[in-house]
């Protein structure tokens, strides 16, 4: 491809990815381009050479770790809009561009006094990323509010719309994360928001925050969530990180019972289907890894589930620390920890 061609498409060669991800580790993309509209995206993907490259879509870059350069095309998703589609007596329906900042969306809805997403205040990333990985926090998973996910098939350049029931949403998972659907690029998400404010404050720390008082407005819940998050989770703009580095492992109830016999203090939650979720942060703390630092890669001292980069850590160094954490937990508890962010 000639430099003129690249320029006309807004493509940068050997682009620095460090400022585009919240882990801020060094990495480059062979090609990088930002798209603000469906037309721009189609133009990019219909270029004969670029269409053959491996592809990666970056939203807020807040759930990804590069351990090497990306030998292909990285697309910065910047399709950003918010429109109201209609309302009934019970709910409002909105459609939001995949590139809109998630935190901004929640704040905007709160300003309007609209409820439904307040428990997910201050989650980093974009609307597209939220729909791909089914973000969840403080008692709410975003899939509960999603009606449809609108995509472009990067191979055929045809639109595809998925009803929420087709997205196979689970704990931090969806079809959009699976290899089978790797050609789909999320363009926008349709949400249905309940008009009646039903505060969801059963999560232990939220319940403690409100201490028996019922919040009257979604803004109160959002403020509570923000203050809890700020106390425990490092601000990626100050200490680079990608939120929880591991998923909370899901085990059988039998395994949970065995672990509890040994360690009654273990934090765990029963799930449907004879399964249980264990608090990975607790397990990591129990093996003495909370606060462990190797060079600039560290286990955050206030939340052991979060790995941080104190400046010059590489993706490989973060992965080496993660492997040490996982191996200690496996040896001691026989529980496998799996990374939550996408590892490249
Ligand atoms: N815990 C410890 N030590 C620690 C960390 C946690 O003992 O170092 C214990 C806590 O005392 C608590 C339990 O583990 O009893 C759960 O901790 P917390 O409420 O902080 O939540 P988490 O399970 O560690 C999950 C999500 C977070 C989300 C919070 C709140 C995952 C992988 N992480 O963390 O999501 O904000 O719940 O709902 O499910 C993210 O995905 O990036 C993320 C930050």
Fold of 3-77: 3.30.43
Instruction: Enumerate the H helices of 150-298 as residue ranges.
Output: 204-210, 218-232, 253-262, 280-286
Residue 3 scores a pLDDT above 90: no
The structural domains of the chain, with segments of one domain joined by +, span: 3-77, 82-231, 236-343
Q: Per the structure block, which two tokens stand in for 299?
A: 């286990």
pLDDT digits (tens, 9 = 90+) for 125-139: 999 999 999 999 999
Probe ligand 1: pick from 136, 264, 279, 338, max atoms within 8 Å of CB?
A: 279
For the stretch 211-265, pLDDT in tens is 999 999 999 999 999 999 999 999 999 999 999 999 999 999 999 999 999 999 9
Integer CA distances (angstroms), 8 to 11, 71, 79, in order: 8, 21, 19
Q: Are 101 and 60 in contact (CB under 8 A)?
A: yes
Q: Which of 55, 92, 145, 172 is catalytic?
A: 172
Q: pTM of the predicted model, to two decimals? A: 0.94
Q: Is 340 a catalytic residue?
A: yes
Q: Do domains 3-77 and 236-343 have the same CATH topology?
A: no
Residue 248 is given by DSSP the state P
Q: What is the DSSP letter of 196?
A: S
The residue among 299, 295, 230, 313 whose CA lies nearest residue 23 is: 313
Q: For this structure, is 205 an active site residue?
A: no
Query: From atom 43 of ligand 1, which residue's Cα is the shortest distance away?
Result: 244
The CA-based angle 199-200-205, given to 5 degrees, is: 120
pLDDT in tens, 142-200: 999 999 999 999 999 999 999 999 999 999 999 999 999 999 999 999 999 999 999 99
282 CA distance to ligand 1 centroid (A)? 9
Does the beta carbon of 279 lie inside 6 Å of ligand 1?
yes
Query: Which fold does the domain 82-231 belong to in CATH?
Result: 3.30.465
- The answer, yes or no, to whether any atom of ligand 1 lies below 6 A from the CB of 124, is no
Domain boundaries 236-343, corresponding CATH code: 3.90.78.10
Query: Is the beta carbon of 305 within 6 A of some atom in ligand 1?
Result: yes
Residue nearest to atom 13 of ligand 1 (CA): 279
172 is catalytic: yes
Ligand 1 atom, smallest distance to 247 CA: 32
């Amino acid at each position: 491809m000639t430099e003129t061609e690249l320029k006309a498409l807004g493509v940068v060669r050997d682009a620095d990815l460090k400022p585009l991800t919240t882990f801020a580790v060094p990495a480059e993309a062979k090609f990088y381009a930002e798209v603000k509209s469906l037309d721009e995206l189609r133009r990019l993907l219909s270029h004969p050479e670029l269409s053959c490259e491996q592809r990666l879509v970056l939203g807020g870059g807040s759930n990804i770790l590069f351990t090497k350069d990306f030998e292909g095309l990285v697309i910065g998703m910047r399709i950003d809009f918010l429109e109201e589609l209609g309302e009934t007596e019970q709910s409002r329906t909105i459609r939001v561009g995949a590139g809109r900042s998630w935190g901004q969306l929640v704040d905007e809805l709160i300003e309007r006094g609209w409820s439904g997403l307040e428990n997910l205040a201050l989650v980093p990333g974009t609307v597209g990323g939220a729909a791909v990985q089914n973000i969840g926090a403080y008692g709410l998973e975003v899939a509960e509010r999603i009606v449809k996910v609108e995509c472009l098939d990067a191979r055929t350049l045809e639109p595809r719309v998925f009803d929420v029931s087709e997205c196979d949403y689970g704990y931090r998972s969806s079809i959009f994360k699976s290899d089978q659907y790797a050609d789909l690029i999320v363009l926008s998400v349709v949400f249905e928001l309940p008009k009646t404010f039903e505060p969801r404050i059963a999560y232990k720390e939220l319940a403690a925050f409100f201490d028996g008082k019922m919040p009257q407005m979604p803004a109160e819940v959002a403020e509570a969530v923000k203050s809890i998050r700020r106390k425990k989770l490092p601000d990626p703009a100050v200490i680079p990180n990608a939120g929880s580095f591991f998923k909370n492992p899901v085990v059988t109830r039998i395994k949970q019972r065995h672990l509890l016999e040994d360690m009654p203090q273990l934090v765990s939650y029963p799930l449907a289907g004879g399964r249980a979720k264990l608090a990975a942060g607790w397990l990591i703390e129990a093996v003495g890894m909370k606060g462990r630092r190797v060079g600039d890669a560290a286990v955050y001292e206030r939340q052991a589930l979060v790995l941080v980069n104190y400046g010059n850590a590489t993706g490989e160094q973060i992965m080496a620390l993660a492997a040490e954490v996982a191996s200690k937990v496996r040896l001691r508890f026989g529980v496998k920890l799996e990374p939550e962010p996408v590892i490249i």
